[in-house]
């Protein structure tokens, strides 16, 4: 199986690099665009959504394909947000594929595909007009529903964490729910929140702003997002910053149900589990995480290069770029997708 995957991706590299030479032997170009989001379905298919101009684009690769398909247009959304950690999001559930995208006015729209790469425009996620002005949002999926979270200005015009659930692949959305409001005016105004869905649990991570500190917090729901417990600070240290780092970190849940997080503080990347001290992963920013066999794998950007820490602790470099996303292909390989110079790059690596 492993040799077959390597062979398939070798073909993919040769077929995909006609527009631009790759930066390393592992690095190949999927498409022209910005701010990719990557999801994996239960059949091990890979789904990528990204923005180019006002167009929301989509490409995919099934477990039996030898490469990503020719990208197709999901929809044109005037003034689409697709830069600076802002961009379309994609998730997989029992209901198919759901995509969310935000425009400059601060409205979030959703799109649905039940298969065969055919997309329909479905509904608006926010139930109050133009409240997602920062365009910072995430989408988590799995099982019977998807859950969206975003920064929301409704009420006092200060950013809060809001969320909504869909049980039909984005065709309809629940009444929006206030998940967290900072007692110190606002949450961090330009850091993207993260959300992961596992069974009936919804985990939301965000950067707060309390007493001038821009620390990471985790908040959890045990009833599918209907109610949330108290927000819990991650790590022991503080980051007092009169500015915004534009760096929201990443979250993953392993097979045992343990929460794993990774995030930036100052110029370093840290990993932490709730209630435990953080540990330093490396220097850099723009980090994310996935787990394989209950072991975390980290991806981040160091000196402009996408960097990986594998399960054995080995550090790998993949290519120049930003905003990496990783997903497991099997127990010994992962794929990383990222952006560089308005192109979507990818690489397969051993873990």
List pLDDT tens digits, range 81-139. Answer: 999 999 999 999 999 999 999 999 999 999 999 887 899 999 999 999 999 999 999 99
Q: What total number of domains does the chain contain?
A: 1
Closest CA relative to residue 47, chosen from 103, 104, 112: 112
Residue 13 pLDDT > 60, yes or no?
Answer: no
Q: Is residue 277 part of a domain?
A: yes
pLDDT at 26: 67
Q: Is residue 164 part of a domain?
A: yes
Average pLDDT, integer, range 26-50: 94
Q: How far apart are CA 110 and CA 117, in angstroms?
A: 15
**Residue 10 within any structural domain of the chain:** no
325 in a structural domain:
no
- Indicate whether 3 pLDDT > 50: no
Question: Is residue 340 domain-resident?
Answer: no
SS3 315: strand
Please indicate, yes or no, if residue 115 is contained in any of the structural domains.
Answer: yes
Average pLDDT of the chain, as a whole number: 91
pLDDT (mean) for 316-327: 95
DSSP calls for 96-116: EEEEEEEBTTS-EEEEEE-ST
pTM of model > 0.75: yes
For residue 208, the domain's CATH number is 2.120.10.10
Write down the pLDDT at residue 275: 95
pLDDT band for position 285 (50/70/90)? Answer: very high
**Average of pLDDT values for 63-83?**
94
- Residue-range definition of the domain harbouring residue 195: 32-284
What per-residue confidence (pLDDT) applies to 22?
37
CA distances from 89 to 12, 15, 266 (A): 24, 26, 27
> Do the domain assignments include residue 346?
no
**Residue 122, in any domain of the structure:** yes
**189/105 Cα distance (integer angstroms):** 16
């Amino acid at each position: 199986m492993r040799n077959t995957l390597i062979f398939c991706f070798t073909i993919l590299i040769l077929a995909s690099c006609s527009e631009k030479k790759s930066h390393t032997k592992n690095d190949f170009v999927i498409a022209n665009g910005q701010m990719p989001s990557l999801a994996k379905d239960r059949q091990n298919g890979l789904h990528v959504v990204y923005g180019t101009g006002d167009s929301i684009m989509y490409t995919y690769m099934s477990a039996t394909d030898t490469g990503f398909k020719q990208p197709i247009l999901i929809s044109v959304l005037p003034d689409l947000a697709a830069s600076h950690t802002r961009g379309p999001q994609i998730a997989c559930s029992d209901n198919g594929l759901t995509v969310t995208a935000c425009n400059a006015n601060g409205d979030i729209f959703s799109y649905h595909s039940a298969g065969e790469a055919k997309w329909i425009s479905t509904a608006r996620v926010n139930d109050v007009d133009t409240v997602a002005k920062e365009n910072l949002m995430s989408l988590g999926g799995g099982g019977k529903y998807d859950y969206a979270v975003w920064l929301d200005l409704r009420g006092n015009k200060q950013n809060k964490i809001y969320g909504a659930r869909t049980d039909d692949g984005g065709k309809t959305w629940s009444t929006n729910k206030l998940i967290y409001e900072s007692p110190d005016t606002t949450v961090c105004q330009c850091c993207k929140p993260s959300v992961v869905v596992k069974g009936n649990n919804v985990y939301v991570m965000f950067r707060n702003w309390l007493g001038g500190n821009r620390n990471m917090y985790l908040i959890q729901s045990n009833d599918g997002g209907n109610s949330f417990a108290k927000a819990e600070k991650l790590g022991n240290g503080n980051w007092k910053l009169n500015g915004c780092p534009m760096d929201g970190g990443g979250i993953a849940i392993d097979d045992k149900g343990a929460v794993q997080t990774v995030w930036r503080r100052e110029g370093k990347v840290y990993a932490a589990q709730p209630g435990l001290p953080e540990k330093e992963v490396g220097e850099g920013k723009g980090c994310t995480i996935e787990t394989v066999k209950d072991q975390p794998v980290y991806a981040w950007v160091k000196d402009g290069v996408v960097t990986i820490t594998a399960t054995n602790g080995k550090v790998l470099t993949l290519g120049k770029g930003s905003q990496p996303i990783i997903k497991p292909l099997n127990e010994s390989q992962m794929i990383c997708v990222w952006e560089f110079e308005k192109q979507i790059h990818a690489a397969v690596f051993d873990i």
